[in-house]
Amino acid sequence: MKCPACDYMETKVVDSRLTSDGASIRRRRECLKCEKRFTTYEYVEHVPLMVVKRDGRRQPFDSKKIISGLVKACEKRPVSIENIENVSREIERTIQKKYDREVDSRDIGELIMEKLAGLDEVAYVRFASVYRQFRDVNQFMNELKHILDKEKK
Backbone angles phi and psi of 143, in degrees to 5: -65, -40
Q: Is residue 35 part of a domain?
A: yes
Are residue 63 and residue 137 in the same domain, yes or no?
A: yes
Show the domain range for 23: 11-43
Provide the domain count of the chain: 2
- Separation of alpha carbons 58 and 87, rounded Å: 24
> Using one digit for the tens of pLDDT, what is the confidence trace for 62-95?
989 999 999 999 999 999 999 999 999 999 999 9
Contact 89, 112 (CB under 8 A): no
**Strand pairing of 50-52 and 102-104?**
parallel
List strands edge to edge, sheet with 11-18. Answer: 11-18, 24-31, 37-43
Pair (37, 69) in one structural domain: no
- 27-69 tens-digit pLDDT: 999 999 999 999 999 988 767 899 999 899 999 999 899 999 9
